[in-house]
Structure 1
Amino acid sequence: MGAVLGDVLGFAAAVAISPLPIIALILILATPRGRLNGVLFTVGWILGLSALGAVMLAVASPAGASAHDHPATWVGVFKLVLGLFLVLFGARLWHRRPRDPSQARLPKWMGAIDRLTPAKVLGLGLALAALNAKNAPLTIAASATIGSAGLPVGQQIASLAVFVLIATLGLLAPLGVFLLGGERAKTTLGDWKDWAAEHNVGVMAVLFLVLGLKLLGDGIGIVTS
């Protein structure tokens, strides 16, 4: 189990420092119902990661993701395809990044965050975790790695839980600052939001390129072994 956690740590860290959900949470915390909605957004995020990971594990186990404690060939092919997707997506993001970070623009939907009901905030957190094109592939890759390691079901669930916890640290940090930081929290979170908004595309591009290359290497190793 320790080896598996080492393999998925990079994916979890990449999800944790994904700037877009962090910006969304900071904007939510600045609304009149920031305390409640911030918690609901984080809960939705956790549910989204857990659900997507659980679905991938459920698919991998019956499909024979592991054979004699070695990943099945189809897992290697899957990682090759996913790795290629991440590399191409990362290259596209890098090409489209603003040359001047100060010119970066946030998605238009963020302008409506202050009008979202608690139920919609919960759904937004779930969607950004499970349906977002920048985070879902990383969760799928981590779950495929867990599912192909030949672990007992209990250890698979525990590994997924650790992944979700680490992947949520990026949201727990601003939430903790807001709940415990008092008046100074507004300035701190504002600075974090500005930095994340300016470097969102560049950060994700680098992460996708690095992790995509890792997946390609893992896939080649599985297919050729």
Structure 2
Amino acid sequence: MGHAVGDVLGLAAGVAVSPLPIVAIILILATPRGRLNGPLFALGWVLGLTLLGAVMLAVGGTGDASTHKHPATWVGALKLALGVLLVLFGAHQWRRRPTDPSQAQLPKWMAAIDRFTPPKVLGLGLALSAANLKNAPLTIAAGASISSAGIPVPQQVGTLAIFVITASLGVLAPLGVYLIMGERAKSVLSTWRDWAAQHNVAVMAVLFFVLGLKLLGDGISIVA
């Protein structure tokens, strides 16, 4: 199990460093219903990662992802494909990064986030975790790594839980600060929000490149 955990921790860290979801939960916490909607957003985020990871574990189990405790060839091919995808996304993000970070613009839907109903906030958390162009490939890759590690199902579930918890730290940190500090958290969260908003594109581009290259290396080593 230790080997499987080591394989997915880097991927989990890549998911945790997600500037846009961090900005989203900080904006949600600043709304009148922040104490309700903030935990709902975090719940949606955790559910999204858990469901996507669980699906990949099920696919890996039925697809014989592990052969004599070694990853199957299709797992290597999957990681190669995901690695190429992330590198291409990284190149696209780098080209569209603003030359002046202070001019960075957030998605238009964030302007209406104070009017989001609880179900919509829950759905937003699900979407930003399981349907995100960075987080979805990384979660799929993590599920493939776990299912191909040749460990029993209970250990696979435990490893997935460690991945989800680690991958959720970026979203859970603002929520924890808000719940502990209350009104005093506004200045701290405002600083976090401004930094994440200004450097979102650049951070995402670098993460796409680095994690894409990692998956490419993993895929090549398995296929070769």
**2:191 is paired with a residue of what secondary structure?**
helix
Residue 132 of structure 1, CA deviation: 1.4
Superimposed CA distance per residue, residues 73-101 of structure 1 (whole angstroms, 9 cap, x where no aligned partner): 11111111111111111111111111110
| Amino acid aligned to 2:43 | V
Equivalent position of 1:94 in the other structure? 94
Aligned residues: 224
Superimposed CA distance per residue, residues 135-161 of structure 1 (whole angstroms, 9 cap, x where no aligned partner): 111111111111111111101100000
Does residue 1:154 correspond to 2:142, yes or no? no
1:69-88 aligned within 5 A: 69-88=69-88
CA distance in 2, matches of 1:133, 1:214: 17
| Amino acid aligned to 2:64 | G
Does residue 1:117 correspond to 2:114, yes or no? no
Higher mean displacement: 21-30 or 142-151 = 142-151
Equivalent position of 2:170 in the other structure? 170
1:180-195 aligned within 5 A: 180-195=180-195
TM score, norm. by length of structure 2 = 0.98
**1:151 is paired with a residue of what secondary structure?**
coil
Residue 182 of structure 1, CA deviation: 3.0
Residue 3 of structure 1, CA deviation: 1.0
Equivalent position of 2:39 in the other structure? 39
CA distance in 2, matches of 1:17, 1:78: 23
RMSD: 0.8
CA distance in 2, matches of 1:103, 1:123: 29
CA distance in 1, matches of 2:4, 2:204: 24
CA distance in 1, matches of 2:214, 2:187: 37
- Where do 5+ consecutive residues of structure 1 fail to align? none
Does residue 1:209 correspond to 2:184, yes or no? no
Superimposed CA distance per residue, residues 1-34 of structure 1 (whole angstroms, 9 cap, x where no aligned partner): 1111111111101111110110000000000000
Equivalent position of 1:50 in the other structure? 50
CA distance in 2, matches of 1:205, 1:65: 30
| Amino acid aligned to 2:59 | V
Q: Which runs of 4+ in 1 moved over 6 A?
A: none
Equivalent position of 1:130 in the other structure? 130
| Amino acid aligned to 2:17 | I
- Where do 5+ consecutive residues of structure 2 fail to align? none
CA distance in 1, matches of 2:80, 2:2: 24
Superimposed CA distance per residue, residues 82-130 of structure 1 (whole angstroms, 9 cap, x where no aligned partner): 1111111111111111111011000011111100111111111111111
